[in-house]
């Protein structure tokens, strides 16, 4: 029995109603991190120091209820070892009665479930992180059938989680990729490799969106693919902003080019207008040359106004 208790990290105990004493097995002492004293192998259940103070009332209420109706009530509570470490204990007890049906004792077992509680806590933290992640996450089986999506995935696609579970991701197909695109993707992930790329998909309302996608196979110890996990990020807005930025950069480049040309042209016009004015001043007012040079000056001044407009642009 002692070896079984050691392997399973369990212990047994017995509480005697008449004496108010509780007797522990060796396994109990091991769980609670204390040593059995040859002269005293019992403790008073109402003041057991090993039970965490915040859980002590719960433990006593549980045992009192079992004494009253005899119904076993599994429970979990914390214990504090002498070195200060806290252990989680799973416990359950049953009532013993005499021939008249009177409760004479409680017998029960306890198991150290600290590791299980730690794993459960880590799992809860992981689930919370996935649920609150800003990127879309989906889990599928070997055939590609969706088994789980996080809220971000549902929000991006417009489908509810319930609508997506049991479906194949092909319901999001946009028609923007040929069959070869999907065949290459499937070949990559089923061979145990990670696929990364950009996919145009279709929301429930029919609107198209673009996402950066990473699909990874989940393999067992023998490298056999068991499931697939997809992480997706909607970049539709980001791409639109990039397009606007590129357009703005193009316009800036055109403006810079136009400004440079306008400045050079303005310098040339300055020379044309200046020499034209000198020729006009040297020509008689009634001569054909005077009339012609005036036309040149008028054209030059109109061109100068046009240069101002180009510079303003």
The confidence score (pLDDT) of residue 2 equals 60
Cβ contact 7:111 at 8 Å: no
Question: 37-55 pLDDT, tens per residue?
Answer: 544 445 544 446 788 999 9
Q: Which regions in the chain score pLDDT beneath 70?
A: 1-7, 36-48
Cβ contact 55:71 at 8 Å: no
CA distance 278 to 113: 105
Question: What residues pair up with 103 in beta bridges, in sequence order?
Answer: 97
Cβ contact 173:201 at 8 Å: yes
- Tokens 């004015």 sit on residue: 277
The confidence score (pLDDT) of residue 39 equals 40
Pairing mode, strands 195-202 and 146-149 = unpaired
- Tokens 């020499």 sit on residue: 275
The confidence score (pLDDT) of residue 266 equals 85
Question: 230-269 pLDDT, tens per residue?
Answer: 999 999 988 888 888 888 889 888 888 888 888 888 888 8
Question: 81-101 pLDDT, tens per residue?
Answer: 988 999 999 999 999 999 998
The confidence score (pLDDT) of residue 204 equals 96
Question: What residues pair up with 95 in beta bridges, in sequence order?
Answer: 106
The confidence score (pLDDT) of residue 40 equals 47
């Amino acid at each position: 029995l002692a070896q079984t208790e050691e392997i399973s990290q369990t212990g047994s105990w017995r509480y005697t109603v008449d004496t108010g004493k509780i007797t522990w097995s060796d396994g109990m002492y091991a769980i609670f991190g204390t040593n059995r004293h040859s002269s005293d192998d019992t403790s008073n259940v109402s003041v057991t120091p090993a039970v965490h103070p915040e859980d002590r009332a719960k433990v006593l209420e549980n045992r009192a209820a079992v004494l009253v109706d005899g119904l076993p009530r599994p429970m979990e509570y914390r214990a504090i070892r002498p070195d200060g470490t806290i252990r989680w204990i799973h416990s359950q007890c049953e009532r013993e009665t005499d021939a008249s049906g009177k409760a004479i004792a409680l017998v029960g077992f306890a198991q150290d479930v600290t590791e299980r509680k730690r794993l459960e806590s880590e799992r809860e933290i992981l689930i919370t992180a996935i649920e609150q992640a800003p990127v879309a996450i989906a889990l599928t089986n070997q055939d590609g059938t969706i088994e789980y999506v996080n809220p971000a995935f549902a929000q991006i696609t417009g489908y509810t989680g319930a609508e997506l579970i049991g479906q194949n991701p092909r319901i999001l197909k946009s028609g923007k990729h040929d069959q070869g695109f999907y065949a290459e993707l499937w070949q990559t992930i089923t061979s145990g490799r990670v696929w990364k790329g950009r996919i145009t998909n279709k929301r429930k309302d029919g609107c198209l969106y673009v996402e950066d996608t990473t699909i990874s196979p989940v393999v067992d110890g023998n490298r056999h693919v068991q499931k697939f996990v997809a992480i997706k990020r909607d970049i539709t807005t980001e791409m639109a902003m990039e397009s606007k930025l590129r357009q703005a950069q193009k316009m800036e480049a055109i403006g810079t080019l136009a400004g440079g040309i306008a400045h050079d042209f303005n310098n040339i016009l300055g020379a044309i207008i200046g020499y034209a004015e000198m020729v006009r001043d040297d020509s008689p007012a009634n001569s054909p040359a005077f009339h012609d040079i005036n036309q040149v000056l008028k054209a030059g001044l109109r061109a100068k106004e046009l240069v101002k407009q180009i510079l303003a642009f």
